[in-house]
Structure 1
Amino acid sequence: MYSLTHPQLMDLLATAETLLAATGNAVAVCPGFGAPRPQLRPTTPAETTHDEESTR
């Protein structure tokens, strides 16, 4: 899963949401949109499963 949280990107997405609503094409964003994400702890290679490796 990826998280896009650069402030400029968040501003761009909010502007796009406003434009879509103004043109009759409103969208419903994810309820967690823009919410802070919990800190994840780094893993060592021994803790990484084969499935996780294939998604990198």
Structure 2
Amino acid sequence: MAEKRELPRYRVLTGPDDETFCRRVSEALDLGYELHGPPSVTFNGQRVIVAQAVVRRPE
């Protein structure tokens, strides 16, 4: 029997500041994650890159 893979309790989502990144954060929130702190933002010389930590409470 295959064991059920649990979602990690902590994740850091990173990527360009675009609609795809926003959807990834929204999907994590839909899975029960909560934002953990403010986003981190930097510029790599071509585009804005963001990082957002998310956490899930133990069930």
TM-score by length of 1: 0.31
Structure number having the greater strand percentage: 2
TM-score by length of 2: 0.30
Structure with bigger RCO (C-alpha 8 Å, 6+ apart): 2
